[in-house]
Chain A
Amino acid sequence: MASILKVDELRGIASAGSITVTSEGGAATQSLQQGLAKAWVSFNATPSVGDSLNITSLTDSASGRPAANYISAMANDDYASAGMCGQGQTTNPSAVNFDGSYGMQSTASIAVVTSEGSDSKRDYALTTILVHGDLA
């Protein structure tokens, strides 16, 4: 019979923010905290949040230049991010890039450029962003 531990919060003993878990294959161990996504968000062209984790608001700087603001800050601006955007009827390829001219990634927010095949910036019906790294 499977054992189930019911608990509201997990903390490390040596370091409150570090718990090690065993890999699926049993060949390695890895930090549980580092593997968890620290923020994710989906939003529309308004932009209005559809669903999110650790996102307090969106900033609409200009067409195709949304930014997502964190509730809890990241530890630094070196974290890893990925994103996608799309519009049901467009035939042009769409891209999410990380926007240096608007500060790109900071501990407080992430700014992106969403653009289509002509290199023109535009807002999309759906944009998603995923953030992995360390929280402050």
Chain B
Amino acid sequence: MPSVLNVDTIADKAGTGPVGLTKQAAAKHFAHWDSGATIQSSLNASSAVDNAVGEFTIATTNNMADALYVYLAGNGSDSTIVGSFTEAPTRGTKTTSGGRLGILVHSGSLTDNDEIFSVFHGDLA
């Protein structure tokens, strides 16, 4: 018979630290925002800022432990701009509270796109 544990919060034995999930890790941030920098859905995201054409900064609510975390990003368009890339976050310094990204078409020009995504994996502060 499967065992089911009902619990609201999981912490380590001391009650203040994290628990290890065997050979698994949870993302510490994700966000989906539009070309107007309006966030559609998120985990641990405080704001998206439209810095310039094709450049956005996504900020976290709770800081990452350091700036060495993995920053994944994507983008898409309702009108299908084929071949747009997401530079993450070469348009600025990645910090413990987020980072700036650029969206480029194949020619190298910056462009806004309808939907932009980010995912962070690493340690929270």
Q: Contact residues of A with B, CB < 8 Å?
A: 2-3, 5-14, 16, 18-32, 34-37, 76, 78-83, 93, 95-101, 104-105, 112-113, 115-119, 121, 130, 132-134
Q: Shortest distance in angstroms between B83's beta carbon and chain A's nearest beta carbon?
A: 4
Which residues on A sit within 8 Å (CB–CB) of B124?
A: 23-25, 27-28, 30
Which residues on A sit within 8 Å (CB–CB) of B117?
A: 80-82
**Contact between A35 and B6, CB atoms less than 8 A apart:** no
**Contact between B125 and A28, CB atoms less than 8 A apart:** yes
Which residues on B sit within 8 Å (CB–CB) of A117?
A: 83, 106
Chain B interface residue count, CB cutoff 8 Å, equals: 56
A-B contact list, 8 entries, CB within 8 Å: A6-B3, A28-B62, A35-B27, A82-B72, A97-B83, A98-B74, A105-B115, A119-B106
Q: Contact residues of B with A, CB < 8 Å?
A: 2-13, 16-19, 24, 26-28, 30-32, 40-44, 62-63, 65, 72-85, 105-106, 113-115, 117-119, 123-125
